[in-house]
Amino acid sequence: MTTDIRSRSRKRRGRRGVVRNTPLRTHWLLLSVVILTLAAALLIQGYTQHMFGISDDSAAPGGGAAHQHSVPPAVVNGGPVIDAAAVPARTARPRPRTIALTFDDGPDPTWTPKILDVLEKHHAHATFFVVGTQVAAHPALVRRILAEGHQIGIHTFTHADLSTVPGWRRSLELREAQLALAGATGQTSSLLRPPYSSVNDALDDQDWAAIRAAGGDGYLTVLTTQDSEDWQRPGVDAIVANATPRGTAGQIVLMHDAGGDRSQTVAALDRLVPRLTARGFTFSTVSAAVGIRQAPAGPAGARDHWLGLGLIGTLDASAWVVRVLGWLLYAAGALAVLRAVAVLVAARRHTRRRGASWGPPVTAPASVIVPAYNERAGIEAAVRSLLASDHPVEVIVVDDGSTDGTADLVESLRLPHVRVIRQPNAGKPAALNTGVAAASYDLLVMVDGDTIFEPDAVRALVQPFADPRVGAVSGNAKVVNRGGLLGRWQHIEYVVGFNLDRRLFDLAECMPTVPGAVGAFRRDALVRVGGVSDATLAEDTDLTMALCRDGWRVVYEEDAVARTEAPASLGALWRQRYRWCYGTLQAMWKHRGALVQSGAAGKLGRRGLVYLLLFQVLLPLLAPVVDLFALYGLVFLDPVRIASLWLAFLALQAAMGFYAFRLDGERPGALWSLPLQQFVYRQLMYLVVIQSVVTALAGSRLRWQRMERYGTLAVPAAVRNGPRESAGPEPAPGPGRRPVTGPAYPSGPAPRMGPGSVPEPGYASGPAPVTGSAPGYGPPPPGRALADAWLDEVHAAAGRTDVPYLRAGQTPGLGETPGDPAPYDGGGGR
């Protein structure tokens, strides 16, 4: 048999050399840049596409004559082309029998080409007042307009009402529109049509202030004399009638080539031009119609041209980003709904199986291994809760070089059936392996030092071993310190997230994690996979995946309840979840070969690993898109619709929460904090996943992070004054006791296994069920030959002779120093 258990070292050498022990900090800078870029893209799109946008010309209120105190009478009664920079202001009218067709709001990829085709068909020219954002989106259309002899004017950048926006916005609207035109065509234009403008006598004081400001910047304002009212879509006949002059006076006719369905405009134009031509009217651009000698268009400077190109590129990039975010939004929504449906259906089916018998009752004693590093605050409560079990147990506390007197405290309690093993600090995997080697029984329960067991937890935990295919059992971990918002949020996460997922994994036979807080293992299964590996920071996930790949079944026993101490500060929570997530990514990568294997390994790969990738990696990475779009929608879109969608998502989460709490027999009172959890806690978990993924991609390696202990574990009342009274006398070795000599397998030698190996056919079924009578239990047998031999075999297979494990019962000698501690947070309770 080949095993791969190595002592924990502070540096690990990989194919690229020494792997860093600390994560890169540059990824935070990268993440900040990405977030700022996305925010900028959303703001640009929101401003250019949704802040104002194109609406009907009737949308802007007009003050009319009652508010014309500052508008010069010469302008009110003058022509539609206004030079407001002159003193006094000057106006101009089209020549008689001259029609200047003008088209607003474009260019539009659908209707502008059709209108250009009609004009070309009838050899007519027109003036197009373009919106800057439309120019940036369709620069080729603007170039076609100029190439076919038409004239260009600007219609602001976002179709904003210049009479109502502040001065800086007015300047920005005109400047950005010019830059867009310069970038698309290399030309500028001095013609301006303010959005929502109409005829001269409709100008009010605010309109005149905007026209004067534009005149100061060198613009000629072009109003209209005849409105086709095509923006109302009254029908082709009505548009033709509205655009037809009543006499022979020249006219500037208002029409639209964008802003909605302009099919009526196209049809009306095709009828209007030949009809007016037959009446002796000619069609020309605005400047030609009023006799402007100096052309209003001219070449843009090199600086403006390049700035315009940059503006167009920025708008294109922001539009692309928003499109991608839209796709990701749909993906995140689909994944969230898919997960909700999957876990709820699985939970329902799993509930129907609750209480089913695994086989004959398992009564064989169990060895409970408690790895401990500086667990003085809660170790007494943990140990006493184990002794209160209604199933026979021995408790092995492996002190991993604690500096707070953890081992001394346990020894001072002088509790029967409790042993303390001291070893230099080597990390949690090493402590667990030491406990496995020292255990007296074939059923092993692993529990963190910050966890207390319900009296029936061990008994419920070992019952599935009546099935010989079962190699490990996951218990039901719950949060004991639920006070405060952070405690409630973690309580919700354990019940709604972890436990619902475990029910699904159990049904799909692809359990990826037996939590370190409450799990049981068959000794032979552990030995076959080489014990607990320290190759990842999630040793519980790594071990569970190894068992699945070795052909063992891993199940969930929801009645085996243990209560674990959760982090009580955001910093401690961050460190714990960062290690969990990073370690899970390591384990997924390590066991990626399961994707192409068959049998139990294939179920883990194609079900468990795919589920983890989709719902615990990709979904958290995509989920911020939902929040970004929620903020985007509240500011730039319909806030009522966006709020309704968010409430629907929250209702789905609440429904899952109530159902999960009902299944676990928990009071639903904590769910009142669920909306707040979505705003704070969920964001923290997103950042944890993002940092873990970036750290993994960067090839960094994390140190174990010690979690703070708060002393919130309570000693069970039934055993506060001593161990349980039902322990009984010490028995002679009998059924269920581990022999001290002989092979470590039920029969025959163990097959040789290597990383990624699949067990030989017929061997995955495991040993016979662990049943039989065990009325009592006693201290471990005096011999340690088998335990020491197993350790020696493990170390020899790993090629190490300097492993700091101690033999059972040994303590460091004088002069020995355990070295720098390798702290850990207990592995954790997932």
Reported as a pLDDT band with limits 50, 70 and 90, residue 321 is: confident
Let me know if 256 is a catalytic residue: yes
- Residue ranges of alpha helices (H) inside 221-301 are 236-243, 263-278, 286-290
Higher pLDDT, 649 or 466: 466
Range scoring the smallest mean pLDDT among 8-12, 92-96, 629-633: 8-12
Give the pair of three-digit tokens for residue 377. Answer: 């605050």
Q: Report how far residue 58's alpha carbon sits from residue 124's, in angstroms, rounded to the nearest whole number.
A: 28
Pairing of strands 81-83, 282-283: unpaired
Among the listed residues 329, 405, 341, the one whose alpha carbon sits nearest the alpha carbon of residue 619: 329
Interatomic CA distance for residues 342 and 112, integer angstroms: 49
| pLDDT of 8 above 50 | no
Residue 696's pLDDT band (boundaries 50, 70, 90)? confident
Whether the predicted pLDDT of 732 surpasses 70: no
Averaged pLDDT, 570-581: 89
pLDDT in tens, 481-523: 888 889 999 999 999 989 999 999 999 999 999 999 999 999 9
Which helix (DSSP H) or strand (DSSP E) does residue 453 occupy?
Answer: strand 451-453
In DSSP notation, 294-346 reads S-SEEEPPHHHHHHHHHHHHHHHHHHHHHHHHHHHHHHHHHHHHHHHHHHHHH
Q: Report the distance separating Cα 427 and Cα 12, nearest Å.
A: 14
Q: What percent of the chain has pLDDT over 70?
A: 78
Residue 783 contacts residue 740 (beta carbons within 8 Å): yes
The answer to which of 65-74, 604-613, 621-630, 744-753 has the lowest mean pLDDT is: 744-753
Determine contact, residues 114/270, Cβ cutoff 8 Å.
no
* pLDDT score recorded for residue 317: 86
Q: Which of 685, 476, 467 is nearest to 584 (CA)?
A: 685
Write out the two tokens for 569. 């500060």
Q: Coil, helix or strand for 779? A: coil
Average pLDDT across the chain, whole number: 81
Closest CA to 291 of 437, 76, 100: 100
**What is the spatial distance between Cα 97 and Cα 289, in angstroms, rounded to a whole number?**
10
- Short-list 416, 534, 732, CA closest to 11: 534
Residue 1 scores a pLDDT above 90: no
pLDDT digits (tens, 9 = 90+) for 762-774: 323 334 444 443 3
Q: Which residues, other chains included, contact 328 with Cβ-Cβ below 8 Å and sequence gap of 6+?
A: 622, 625
For 510, the token pair is 């692809």
Instruction: Give, for 470, the enclosing helix (H) or strand (E).
Output: strand 470-479
pLDDT at position 570, please?
Answer: 86
Exactly one of 138, 159, 256, 591 is catalytic; name it: 256
Is the overall model pTM greater than 0.85, yes or no?
A: no
Collapsing DSSP to helix, strand or coil, 562 comes out as: strand
Higher per-residue pLDDT: 89 or 23? 89
**Residue 320 CB burial class (10 angstroms; 0-12, 13-18, ≥19):** exposed
Q: Give residue 665's region: left, alpha or beta (phi > 0; psi -120 to 50).
A: left
Which residues, 6 or more positions from 623, have their beta carbon under 8 angstroms from its beta carbon? 332, 336, 682, 686
Instruction: Quote the longest CA-to-CA distance of the chain.
Output: 123
- Classified as helix, coil or strand, 208 is helix
Q: Which of 41-50, 362-371, 596-605 has the lowest mean pLDDT?
A: 41-50
E strand spans, 598-671: none
Q: Are 178 and 157 in contact (CB under 8 A)?
A: no
- Average pLDDT estimate for 162-171: 91
pLDDT at 54 over 90: no
- Closest listed residue to residue 766, CA positions, set 585, 579, 611, 553: 553
- Per-residue pLDDT at 283 exceeds 50: yes
Q: Going by C-beta distance under 8 Å and a sequence separation of 6 or more, which residues neighbour residue 333? A: 626
Residues 635-639 have a mean pLDDT of: 78
Residue 170 confidence (pLDDT) above 60: yes
**Neighbouring C-beta atoms of residue 699, cutoff 10 Å:** 11
pLDDT in tens, 187-228: 999 999 999 999 999 999 999 999 999 999 999 999 999 999
Cis peptide before 88 (omega within 30 of 0): yes
Per-residue confidence band for 324, with pLDDT thresholds at 50, 70 and 90:
confident
**Gap between the Cα atoms of 281 and 244, Å rounded:** 10
For tokens 């159902």, name the residue: 659
Q: What is the Cα Rg of the chain in Å? A: 39
User: What pLDDT, in 10s, does the model give residues 93-104?
Assistant: 999 999 999 999
Q: What b-and-e string marks burial along 74-112, b requiring 16 or more CB atoms within 10 Å of the CB?
A: ebbebbbbbbbeeeebbbbbbeebbbbbbbbbbbbeebb
Is the pLDDT score of 755 beyond 50?
no
CA distance 764 to 471: 10
Q: How far apart are CA 371 and CA 377, in angstroms?
A: 14
On the question of pLDDT at 789 being above 60, the answer is no
The contacts of residue 759 (CB under 8 Å, 6+ apart) are 528, 550, 551, 751, 753
Segment holding 728, helix H or strand E: none
* pLDDT digit string, tens, across residues 107-155: 999 999 999 999 999 999 999 999 999 999 999 999 999 999 999 999 9
Q: Establish whether 792 is a catalytic residue.
A: no
Kindly report whether the peptide bond that precedes residue 429 is cis, defined as omega within 30 degrees of 0: no
The active-site residue, picked from 104, 161, 399, 442, is 104
Task: Please give the pLDDT value at position 33.
Answer: 73
